[in-house]
Structure 1
Amino acid sequence: MYLRLVFCLLLLTGLPVQGRMLSGHTETPLLYMQTREPAAIWSRVGDKVIPVGTLAGGQLIAVVPTVADYYEFTFGFGNGFIDKAHLKPVLATRRVEDSLGDLHNPPTNQNLLTFQDVTIYSGPANDSDPLGTLAANLRYPIIGKLKDRLNQTWYQIRIGGRLGWVSSLDAELDNGIAILTYHHILRDEENTRFRHTSTTTSVVAFSNQMTWLREQGYSTLTMYQLEGYLRNRLNVPAKSVVVTFDDGLKSVSRYGCPILRENGIHATAFIVSSRIKRHPQQWNPVSLQFMSLGELAECRDVLDLQSHTHFLHRVNADHRPVLLSRSYHNILFDFERSRRALEQFTPRVWYLSYPFGGYNANAVHAASAAGFHMAVTTVRGKVKPGDNLLLLKRLYILRTDSLDVMARLISNRS
């Protein structure tokens, strides 16, 4: 029922209402409104519009007028929505007192995470008036931090043009999102060749891990959504993770895609485009087989196809990635060819996985020149705003790792 509108920045200054630019196109007048009563607020988080908290009665916010039965206001890196019936107008001549700091301060590269409903206070103190609440499972941008006289840390945020404070006892600092890496999936009884390779996992282990993500309430982000998070352009849940596959092996379509589908999980497959088969190969678990055109098409409901290069997924006689010995122009040509080959599956081939995790200055510069927005490595770690988007870290969950190990690796406290 909610429209997907352009993001805008609403600032509550206490000055008479004036027209503001909405995404640089038309003058959009802002209204000062006051909540008549405690009111639920909604926003787009990831790919869903969900309840994201409440505003207490008597609170002033700046809203964008709409023809619908709700108003818009700033919420994090997007828009919030509130039913018009909960609001009443405030005279434009009324000045709003705000002693909490400069309202023009931009967000930092840090977010807070909520794992329960938390109170937003009007000041950095538990005895200050509550402005409202933030719902559980949110990432929300921080404007600033301070410590009170008891050495307790408070996070400053902006919502609907208002500045508010959240206690560090109620929320955690965002330590980043895990990008999980998989390659090959086999049943234990047919895995006679790859049992001891770290890049092969069992069907049972992969199924258990994806079921655990679903049962624990994790949202699996696309690379496009991850980019929105890393560029501070998109609200995403606190419990978020990215699932990726490298190479484009046939075992992913045979075993991985049905498991993803059963659990409602979306993943990204980085494809070696020169190895896409015209016709499906007969299944042979003792060899590395690659997906066909038809198999890739059948998995598009759960797999977003991105680049793992065209011809550069090879090693030389010294078992080093050949990419590291190629010229800038050779790498650029390969990257561009890979993008063209994969555009039959997706119009947004914007993401790259370096072969074997190998990269150098030529590869990074070529990735940018070829039009890739982000690239992933095999360097171990999580990703968060401020990271180099062409050198993103990832995590491996091995077939021998227990679910407790997985939970610890992807948790915010790791």
Structure 2
Amino acid sequence: MIKKWGLAFFLSMSAFSAHAAAEGIVTTEERAIYDATTNEQIGRIMPNVYYETLYDTTKQFYVQVETATGYVLKDEAVQPADLQVRTPKNTMVTIATNGETTFYKGTDFREKLYVAAADRRFFVTNETNDYYEVLLFGQAAYVKKSDVREDRGIPVLLYHHLLRDRENENYRNNSTVDPLTFIIQMEYLKDAGYETITLDDLYAYINGEKNISAKSFALTFDDGLSTTQRYAYELLKAFNFKATNFIITSRIPPVERLFDPSTLQFLSLKNMNSMRDVFSFEGHTHNMHYFMTGSCGALVCGTAEAVAADIATSLAVMPHNYFAYPFGQHKEETTRLLKRANISMAFTTRKDYVHVGEDLYRVPRIDVQRSMTFPQFKALFE
């Protein structure tokens, strides 16, 4: 079943508003559509078809396409035009294209409206057994269900400790993954054509500000363990993958130590600075990564004053915009304190995919554990 999102979020977006008369363009020849943030070509528009525009600059017309915006270059073949536009139905789901995919003006699938590249996401306004209706350029467009797939959202993977089985004497728990397993997983994603996105990208996607390919994922590590440098850094650099490490700032050592797999060792500031071409570093509390009472973490069971002070200290040691809850635990007061500290987004350990309109302070992640088999890992992406 395709996930439905909060209607209020989408109706607040300008492209989904009703217009008495919309400004737009008509082109006499096929023209490329480019992503407004990456400038990559993501599709083509058809000649003699109306396309609503959001705004224009001296060189581009900007349009609503996929889940955010794109643009077409201004030239002699592209002319301004007007058209009455209806309001879409109040049902929003998302799909992704399988390959280069044609969207049509009608359900007879005769007149082309738009040709999208592979693995692009679109909001759906209606559906039947045979086709989806989407809103493109301020008007209804139709795509055959056989040409697209349900979009589950963006997976945000979560890892902790990487340690070889033969050297792992003390940490044979589900949070410790053998580096060989990690290599196999990353090689699979690279070979399958997946690319990483940064948390800045994810934040923009959630807010409806950026188009993200359906072959994208985010990669995160919790706790700031030194094994991320030892076993993950060079591989991710070779694959041009980006990742985020959530740091417990009280555990940052003043100096580096020789590697010792029998103990937990953490990244120094020098280590972090040497990894910034691959990793970004965000917050995981200063000193509240422990259970205070039974299974209740300090971030939840501590006083509001103590939590606020801890967040402030963490930010002072290492400025950051994003945050991961220790053990995934949080409550309303926790999110309130993070907002007050100008933290923009916070991550849980709730297993799910990330969608446009997600609660920015309860972003889900998928914990990749030692017990996860390779078929189970593949199933996250298939």
Using structure 2 for the length normalisation, give the TM-score. Answer: 0.87
Q: Deviations over 1:217-265 (max 9, x none)?
A: 1121212211112222211011121111000011111211111111111
Counterpart check, 1:131 vs 2:113: yes
Match of 1:24 in 2: none
One-letter identity of the residue aligned with 2:132: W
CA contact (8 A) 2:207 2:356 kept: yes
Q: Deviations over 1:63-95 (max 9, x none)?
A: 544434x543333454323243462435x6xx6
CA contact (8 A) 1:10 1:74 kept: no
Moved more, 168-177 or 328-337: 168-177
Match of 2:51 in 1: 61
CA contact (8 A) 2:297 2:327 kept: yes
Distance (Å, rounded) in 2 between the aligned partners of 1:325 and 1:220: 35
Match of 1:42 in 2: 34
Match of 1:227 in 2: 203
Distance (Å, rounded) in 1 between the aligned partners of 2:110 and 2:147: 15
Distance (Å, rounded) in 2 between the aligned partners of 1:325 and 1:317: 7
Structure 2, unaligned stretches of length 5 or more? 1-12
One-letter identity of the residue aligned with 1:179: V
Distance (Å, rounded) in 2 between the aligned partners of 1:298 and 1:315: 32
Matched ranges for 1:246-261 at <5 A: 246-261=222-237
One-letter identity of the residue aligned with 1:244: T
Matched ranges for 1:150-161 at <5 A: 151-159=129-137, 161=138
Q: Secondary structure in 2 aligned to 1:192?
A: coil
Matched ranges for 1:35-184 at <5 A: 35-44=27-36, 48-63=38-53, 64-68=55-59, 70-85=60-75, 87-89=77-79, 96=83, 101-102=86-87, 105=88, 110-123=93-106, 125-142=107-124, 144-147=125-128, 151-159=129-137, 161-184=138-161
Moved more, 165-174 or 353-362: 165-174
Q: Which runs of 4+ in 1 moved over 4 A?
A: 7-15, 62-65, 105-109
Shift in alpha-carbon separation, 1:336–1:140, aligned structure 2, 3 A:
farther
- Give the superposition deviation at 1:110: 3.1
Shift in alpha-carbon separation, 1:246–1:106, aligned structure 2, 3 A:
farther
1:373 to 337, 344, 358: 344
Identity %: 26
Shift in alpha-carbon separation, 1:80–1:340, aligned structure 2, 3 A:
same
One-letter identity of the residue aligned with 1:408: A
Moved more, 305-314 or 106-115: 106-115
Match of 1:185 in 2: 162
CA contact (8 A) 2:351 2:364 kept: yes
2:247 to 267, 271, 285: 271
Match of 1:405 in 2: 376
Distance (Å, rounded) in 2 between the aligned partners of 1:224 and 1:38: 33
CA contact (8 A) 1:332 1:369 kept: no
Distance (Å, rounded) in 1 between the aligned partners of 2:295 and 2:16: 55
Q: Secondary structure in 1 aligned to 2:349?
A: strand
1:303 to 273, 279, 282: 279
Distance (Å, rounded) in 1 between the aligned partners of 2:79 and 2:293: 74
Q: Secondary structure in 2 aligned to 1:393?
A: coil
CA contact (8 A) 2:289 2:298 kept: yes
Shift in alpha-carbon separation, 1:317–1:11, aligned structure 2, 3 A:
closer
Match of 1:331 in 2: 307
Shift in alpha-carbon separation, 1:128–1:180, aligned structure 2, 3 A:
same
One-letter identity of the residue aligned with 1:145: N
- Give the superposition deviation at 1:109: 5.2
- Give the superposition deviation at 1:127: 3.4
- Give the superposition deviation at 1:271: 0.3
Distance (Å, rounded) in 2 between the aligned partners of 1:232 and 1:108: 16
One-letter identity of the residue aligned with 1:36: T
Moved more, 311-320 or 388-397: 311-320
Match of 1:294 in 2: 270
Distance (Å, rounded) in 2 between the aligned partners of 1:394 and 1:71: 36
Distance (Å, rounded) in 1 between the aligned partners of 2:208 and 2:339: 20
Distance (Å, rounded) in 1 between the aligned partners of 2:353 and 2:65: 25
CA contact (8 A) 1:41 1:81 kept: yes
One-letter identity of the residue aligned with 1:233: E
RMSD: 2.7
Distance (Å, rounded) in 1 between the aligned partners of 2:17 and 2:31: 20
Distance (Å, rounded) in 1 between the aligned partners of 2:56 and 2:221: 44
One-letter identity of the residue aligned with 1:352: F
CA contact (8 A) 1:12 1:162 kept: no
Distance (Å, rounded) in 1 between the aligned partners of 2:312 and 2:90: 35
Shift in alpha-carbon separation, 1:406–1:390, aligned structure 2, 3 A:
same
Counterpart check, 1:280 vs 2:270: no
Distance (Å, rounded) in 1 between the aligned partners of 2:314 and 2:119: 37
- Give the superposition deviation at 1:317: 6.2
Count of aligned pairs between the two proteins: 369
1:363 to 305, 313, 334: 334
Shift in alpha-carbon separation, 1:390–1:285, aligned structure 2, 3 A:
same
CA contact (8 A) 2:293 2:301 kept: no
Q: Secondary structure in 2 aligned to 1:72?
A: strand
- Give the superposition deviation at 1:183: 0.7
Distance (Å, rounded) in 1 between the aligned partners of 2:147 and 2:316: 48
Counterpart check, 1:354 vs 2:325: yes
Shift in alpha-carbon separation, 1:246–1:311, aligned structure 2, 3 A:
same
Moved more, 74-83 or 402-411: 74-83
Structure 1, unaligned stretches of length 5 or more? 1-6, 18-29, 344-348
Distance (Å, rounded) in 2 between the aligned partners of 1:362 and 1:127: 52
Using structure 1 for the length normalisation, give the TM-score. Answer: 0.81
